[in-house]
Amino acid sequence: MPNRLAPIILLTGTPGTGKTTHAQLLAQSSPVPLRHINVGDLVKEKCLYESYDEEWQSYVVDEDKLLDDLEPLAAEGGLILDWHTCDIFPERWIDLVIVLRCDHTELWNRLEKRNYPLKKIQENNESEIMQTISDEARSSYAEEIIIELRSEKTEDLESNIERIVEWIRAWKENREQ
């Protein structure tokens, strides 16, 4: 395990499940400094994509460029990687994987509010029902570093953050022994 001063937490889940909301609160609440990286925003800002898919209204990410860009940050640690794709990061980077889950009716409402095209709402909804991201996480990382959490209500958000903060404290204590 790499000798980092702060962990790297991959916060993943279907779009709309609450990754960015959790990441922002976690960055404020963490007992060790964690930098929130919204990977989708990073891809846009630094043009780390191959093309833009008009039909799906999304970027086709250049994964090599993205990983090269993140490598120096990952070497230092102390990151929250906020992204719906979870299977491209090297296992050695990731200390904890949080998969956020949401009831599909609630998710549909959230995505509608974002003015996503119907096709994109349907695709994401189906992906949540089929637990695609959860399966991807399980095929990419060790079972013991994955936590699946519900993100439907504000109380969920609060208890999830408490749980992750507890995990970070334990991670830190473990390192200091």
In the complex, residue closest to ligand DAT by CB? 18
Q: Is 65 annotated as a binding residue?
A: no
> Which residue, 41 or 76, is less far from ligand DAT as judged by CB?
41
- Residue 3: CA atoms inside 13 Å, Cβ hemisphere, count? 2
Q: Is 40 annotated as a binding residue?
A: no
In 3D space, the residue among 87, 77, 81, 100 whose CA is nearest the CA of residue 172 turns out to be: 77
> Which residue, 83 or 171, is less far from ligand DAT as judged by CB?
83
Contact at 8 Å (CB) between 43 and 61? yes
Q: Would you give the end-to-end CA distance of the chain in angstroms? A: 15
Three-state DSSP class for residue 165: helix
CB of 26 to ligand DAT, least distance (A): 11
Q: Where are the beta strands (DSSP E) in the chain?
A: 8-13, 35-38, 49-53, 58-61, 79-82, 96-101, 146-150
CB of 25 to ligand DAT, least distance (A): 10
> Which residue, 16 or 171, is less far from ligand DAT as judged by CB?
16
Three-state DSSP class for residue 10: strand
> Which residue, 7 or 13, is less far from ligand DAT as judged by CB?
13
Inter-axis angle of helices 154-176 and 19-29, nearest 10: 50
> Which residue, 3 or 154, is less far from ligand DAT as judged by CB?
154
CB of 87 to ligand DAT, least distance (A): 17
CB of 151 to ligand DAT, least distance (A): 4
CB of 117 to ligand DAT, least distance (A): 16
Residue ranges in contact with ligand DAT by CB under 6 A: 13, 15-21, 110, 151-154, 156-157
Q: Is 114 annotated as a binding residue?
A: yes
What token pair was written down for 16?
């709309």
Q: Is 153 annotated as a binding residue?
A: yes
Sequence ranges of the binding site? 16, 18-21, 114, 153
